[in-house]
């Protein structure tokens, strides 16, 4: 079943591109026509590309990895943040800090600093500080939360990036390219899709268009999470059934030789020793009962 329809894309204004004088020639394959000085995106290409992107991102999430959402433009930040929180995925919606991926260890230190401030507040140390110190710490905490709050739970590099407006997020794209992290993105007629692994030709300025395309990607992520959960449950059931079968199986009975076996071996050994001793002395061994 298709994740969206031609009419839904049309209603959301996904087909509206930028002015023809602002276009990027590398987007020519996704442009249908020009109307009133504006390029019109080929929605048939959009349908194909969004299906490919959703299928790929579903497999990434199914394997248990994270997708980082990046949308710092005003029209997209609230939409993307809400969607990402719904599926517990990391997101950046304020400002992309240079080196956020290529210098991830330093970024992790800033995140750890934010958690340390939270610990100070909980253990009572914060209340023992002076008013000025508390104010400084509070301001720093707000700043860190604004910039890094969306990736506070990201312990390692994300498996993929989903971006709105690759022209605006060019630093994130270049860092992902250096680290071979696959990128999924909405690309408008003024963007360069050549560096994006899964480009989705779409209007990246209209909130309806952003909401529709991001919603499709989020739906694919939900499917991947559900399938992963079902697989884990099936594995747990199989392990429990195997453990139960092993516990219920009768134990193998090993033959018990008992004391008779030990005595007989001992007796045989003793008789042989007596016979050998008798041969050496030249006497007949006495019969044993």
Residue of 66, 71, 56, 90 whose CA lies nearest to 159:
66
Burial bucket for residue 119 (CB in 10 Å: 0-12, 13-18, 19+):
exposed
283 Cβ neighbours under 8 A, 6+ residues apart = none
- Between CA 267 and CA 259 the distance in angstroms is 12
Would you state the pLDDT for residue 273?
53
Q: How many CB atoms lie within 10 A of CB 208?
A: 15
- Between CA 275 and CA 284 the distance in angstroms is 8
- Between CA 106 and CA 279 the distance in angstroms is 89
C-alpha to C-alpha distances, 186 to 72, 90, 139, nearest whole angstrom: 13, 18, 35
Would you state the pLDDT for residue 98?
87
Looking at residue 217, what DSSP letter applies? H
Would you state the pLDDT for residue 130?
83
Would you state the pLDDT for residue 70?
96
**Digitized pLDDT (tens) for each residue of the chain, 289 residues in all:** 578 898 999 999 999 999 999 999 999 999 999 999 999 999 999 999 999 999 999 999 999 999 999 999 999 999 999 999 999 999 999 999 888 999 999 999 988 988 888 888 777 777 778 888 888 988 988 898 888 889 988 989 999 999 999 999 999 999 999 999 999 999 999 999 999 999 999 999 999 999 999 999 999 999 999 999 998 888 888 888 888 888 887 655 555 555 554 444 444 445 555 455 555 555 554 444 4
- Between CA 167 and CA 58 the distance in angstroms is 25
């Amino acid at each position: 079943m298709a994740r969206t329809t031609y009419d839904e894309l049309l209603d959301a204004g996904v087909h509206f591109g930028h002015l023809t004088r602002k276009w990027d020639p590398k987007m020519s394959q996704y442009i249908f026509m020009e109307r009133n000085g504006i390029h019109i995106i080929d929605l048939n290409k959009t349908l194909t590309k969004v299906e490919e992107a959703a299928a790929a991102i579903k497999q990434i999430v199914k394997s248990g990895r994270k997708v980082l959402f990046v949308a710092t433009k005003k029209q997209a930040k609230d939409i993307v943040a809400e969607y990402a929180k719904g599926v517990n995925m990391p997101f950046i919606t304020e400002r992309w800090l240079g080196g956020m991926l290529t210098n991830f260890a330093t970024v992790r230190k800033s995140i750890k600093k934010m958690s340390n401030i939270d610990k100070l507040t909980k253990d009572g140390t914060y209340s023992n500080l002076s008013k000025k110190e508390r104010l400084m710490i509070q301001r720093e905490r707000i700043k860190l939360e604004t910039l890094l709050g969306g990736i506070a739970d990201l312990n390692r590099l994300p498996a993929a990036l989903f971006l709105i407006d690759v022209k605006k997020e060019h630093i994130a794209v270049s860092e992902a390219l250096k680290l071979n992290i696959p990128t999924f993105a909405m690309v408008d007629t003024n963007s360069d899709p050549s560096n994006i692994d899964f480009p989705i030709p779409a209007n990246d300025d209209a909130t309806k268009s952003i909401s529709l395309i991001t919603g499709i990607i989020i739906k694919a992520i939900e499917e991947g999470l559900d399938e992963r959960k079902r697989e884990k449950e099936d594995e747990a059931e199989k392990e429990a059934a195997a453990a139960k079968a092993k516990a219920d199986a009768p134990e193998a009975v090993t033959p018990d030789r008992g004391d008779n076996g030990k005595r007989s071996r001992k007796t045989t050994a003793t008789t042989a020793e007596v016979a050998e001793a008798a041969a050496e002395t030249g006497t007949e061994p006495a019969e044993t009962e």
